[in-house]
Chains A and B, each alone.
Chain A
Amino acid sequence: GAVVSQHPSWVICKSGTSVKIECRSLDFQATTMFWYRQFPKQSLMLMATSNEGSKATYEQGVEKDKFLINHASLTLSTLTVTSAHPEDSSFYICSANQGAEQYFGPGTRLTVT
C-alpha cells in the first residue's frame, strides 16, 4: 500500500510556543489529506480536511486559528499548533487519500509542558 510519513514522531514543547507537524505522501500525490487527534484510551477524532491549494475545512469545535493547516503541495500538508497548552498534548495522526483508499501516517506524539 501507499506510504504516509509524519515528522517529527514525537515532540516536547513549552506552553505558549508553536509546533509544526509535517505529513508527507511518499509515493503518491494526495490532493486531500486529513488530520486527526487522539487522546489516551479514546478513538481518533477528525480535526480537519486539508485540500491542496485551498483552505482547510475544519470540523465543528476545532479552532482554525489555533490549528493552522497548510497543504502547499500534492505531497505535503502541515499542521501548526499555535500557542500550545498542556491540554493540546495528544497523538496527532494524518492520512491521505489515494483514489478511494485512505492511508495513515505513524502519528506524532505532542507533549506540552
Chain B
Amino acid sequence: DAKTTQPPSMDCAEGRAANLPCNHSTISGNEYVYWYRQIHSQGPQYIIHGLKNNETNEMASLIITEDRKSSTLILPHATLRDTAVYYCIVRTYNQGGKLIFGQGTELSVKP
C-alpha cells in the first residue's frame, strides 16, 4: 500500500471548519483514500473514503485532487468532541485488505 504524509498536529477553533491535509503522491489507480480517527484510548472510527470524486457524509467531506496525489478531510463545524488523531490511509478496495496506519494528525479543537 502507498504511504501517506500528514502534519503531526493542528489546532482548530470550535465551530470553525477543520481542514486536514494528506499527501499520497504514490497512490495507485486502484487504491482508495480512507480516513479514520482515534479518540484517546478508544478504537479507531471510520469517517469516510473515496476514489477520485469528492465525497460527503454526515461526519465529514473528502476532497481529492484531480491527480489524486493529495486529499483534504473537512469537518465543517468542529466541536470539542472532534479532538482526536486523524489517520489518512490508502488501500485497495477489496475484501481482506489490511490497513496500515501512519502517524496521523493530532487535531485539537479549542473553545
Q: Which A positions have Cβ atoms within 8 angstroms of B?
A: 1, 4, 6, 31-32, 34, 36, 43-46, 49, 91, 93, 95, 97, 99-107, 109
Which residues 58-111 of B sit at the A interface, judged by CB distance below 8 A?
A: 85, 87, 93-104
* Contact present for B104 and A103 (CB under 8 Å): no
* Contact present for A100 and B93 (CB under 8 Å): yes
- A43 interface neighbour in B41, B46, B94, B104, Cβ under 8 Å: B104
State in angstroms the CA–CA spacing of A9 and B87 once bound together.
Answer: 23
Task: Name the residue on A nearest B89 (C-beta).
Answer: A102
* Contact present for A104 and B43 (CB under 8 Å): yes
C-beta contact mask, B34-72 vs A, less than 8 Å → 1, else 0? 001010011111100000000000000000000000000
Task: Name the residue on B nearest A101 (C-beta).
Answer: B46
Report B-chain residues with C-beta under 8 Å of the C-beta of A109. 41
A-B pair count, CB < 8 Å, reads: 57
Count of chain B residues near A, Cβ 8 A: 22
Overall SS of chain A's interface = strand
* Contact present for A32 and B43 (CB under 8 Å): no
A-B interface, 8 closest residue pairs, ranked by CB to CB distance from nearest: A104-B43, A44-B101, A32-B96, A43-B101, A104-B44, A106-B43, A107-B43, A100-B93
Report B-chain residues with C-beta under 8 Å of the C-beta of A104. 36, 43-46
Report B-chain residues with C-beta under 8 Å of the C-beta of A1. 46
